[in-house]
Amino acid sequence: MSKKRIYTPTDKMSDIICDNYRLLQVMSRFDIPLGFGDASVEEVCQTNQVDCNTFLAVVNFINKGHSRSSLPYVDLSVQALMHYLKNAHHYFLDFQLPTIRRKLLEAIDCSTDNEVTFLILKFFDGYVQELKKHMNYEDMYVFTYVENLQKGIKDENYNIDMFVRNHNHIDDKLTELKNIIIKYYPDNKKAYLMNAVLFDIYNCEKDLASHNAVEDYLFVPAVLQMEKDVTEQAKMIQEIEEQESTNTEKKETQDGLSQREKEIITCVVKGLSNKEIADQLFISIHTVITHRRNIARKLEIHSPTLLTVYAIVNKLVELNDIKERITSE
């Protein structure tokens, strides 16, 4: 029976595995190999470039039976957690479940028209396909969303709460498969093989439950905090830009336009979109729209054609610079 203790960076990595061999899976999913001698957890993590706090958070969370009391009060590495979860997906889909199916085929009697045998295989294959769809969704959409968050890019049409609402724990279906085998599969000469398959299914079920718990109680809260940080950062940047815009407007030239507004006009008459203007001037789209609204109010010009005339007359652009765009229109 594993010891329900909280491990620290100074504990030996070998002690963790000897106390609870199931934590070998945590090591492998963080890409930590064996052969670390008597090195401490911190030393092994440093050698393998693994975030020690995140590794220990997962280890202690699983070792304590998914107890929230073991959750750390320190920042976790979302990147390290994603790497762990991606490796877990690879293990389930490319190794554990194919291994169980291979053993299942060896254990069941496929030589006769056994309806229970057919149902077992059909149920198992259907379950694998559903799990694959579930994990591919996380790989393609959830993790991509989080990777963009790490770059400071927030998709306004998606958030981690949407993932939580649709996060079905499909490991529950393994319980149905176990019940079919235990209650209805007829006796045969390969009972020891079927028992071995059941043992593997029990282990897979427990492993999937741990995987889901890590997503729910470690990964999701970490992403929620990241969303909050990105939103606050974007708000702060917008406030700074608006303040800079206000300061710039105080230095307006005689025609009532600030230098930034003249730059906006130049971009507009050259045919740039709001996004292209924002990218070129290193400001937000919201700031571009605000400037354009102020320009229209100050000049009382609401037509792109009249704005082009204004820009040419006031030498903000040369006719040759926009001649091609004008003729194409």
Asked whether residue 229 falls in the same domain as residue 268, the answer is no
Q: Which pLDDT score is estimated for 188?
A: 66
Confidence band for 30, pLDDT divided at 50, 70 and 90: very high
Q: Give the C-alpha separation, 236 to 228, whole Å.
A: 12
Asked whether residue 316 falls in the same domain as residue 261, the answer is yes
Q: Is the pLDDT of residue 328 over 60?
A: no
Flag whether 115 is in a domain: yes
Q: Which pLDDT score is estimated for 112?
A: 60
Q: pTM of the full predicted structure? A: 0.70
Q: Please name which of 63, 20, 24, 56 lies closest in space to residue 40, comparing C-alpha atoms.
A: 56
Flag whether 46 is in a domain: yes
Q: Give the C-alpha separation, 184 to 310, whole Å.
A: 85
Asked whether residue 178 falls in the same domain as residue 257, the answer is no
Phi-psi region of 57 (alpha: psi -120 to 50; beta: other; left: phi over 0): alpha
Q: Is the pLDDT of residue 16 over 50?
A: yes
Asked whether residue 29 falls in the same domain as residue 150, the answer is no
Backbone phi, psi, residue 111, to 5°: -85, -15
Q: Is the pLDDT of residue 302 over 90?
A: no
Q: Which pLDDT score is estimated for 2?
A: 44
Average pLDDT over residues 213-236: 88
Phi-psi region of 112 (alpha: psi -120 to 50; beta: other; left: phi over 0): beta
Asked whether residue 35 falls in the same domain as residue 120, the answer is no
pLDDT digits (tens, 9 = 90+) for 131-176: 999 999 999 999 999 999 888 888 888 889 888 887 766 667 778 8
pLDDT digits (tens, 9 = 90+) for 185-206: 776 677 888 899 999 999 998 9
Asked whether residue 223 falls in the same domain as residue 285, the answer is no
Asked whether residue 198 falls in the same domain as residue 98, the answer is yes
Task: Please state which of the ranges 42-51, 87-96, 232-241 shows the lowest mean pLDDT.
Answer: 232-241
Last residue of a domain, one of 191, 206, 234: 234
**b vs e for 42-59, b when ≥16 Cβ sit within 10 Å of the residue's Cβ?**
bbbbeeeebbbbbbbbbb
Q: Is the pLDDT of residue 293 over 50?
A: yes
Flag whether 203 is in a domain: yes
Flag whether 8 is in a domain: no
Asked whether residue 219 falls in the same domain as residue 146, the answer is yes
Q: Give the number of domains in the chain.
A: 3
Q: Is the pLDDT of residue 249 over 80?
A: no
Q: Is the pLDDT of residue 1 over 50?
A: no
Asked whether residue 278 falls in the same domain as residue 151, the answer is no
Q: Is the pLDDT of residue 254 over 50?
A: no
The count of C-alpha atoms lying within 13 angstroms of the C-alpha of 94, restricted to the half-sphere facing its C-beta, is: 7
What range defines the domain where residue 46 resides?
13-66
Distances (CA, A) of 166 to 35, 162, 260: 40, 6, 46
Using CA atoms of 179, 98, 23, 223 in order, give the dihedral in degrees to the nearest 10.
Answer: -90
Backbone phi, psi, residue 257, to 5°: -105, 140
Q: Is the pLDDT of residue 110 over 60?
A: yes
Flag whether 125 is in a domain: yes
> 298: domain CATH number?
1.10.10.10
Comparing 168 with 90, which gets the higher pLDDT? 90
Q: Is the pLDDT of residue 322 over 70?
A: no
Flag whether 1 is in a domain: no
Q: Is the pLDDT of residue 300 over 70?
A: yes
Q: Give the C-alpha separation, 205 to 185, whole Å.
A: 20
The label of the residue with tokens 């006769």 reads 112
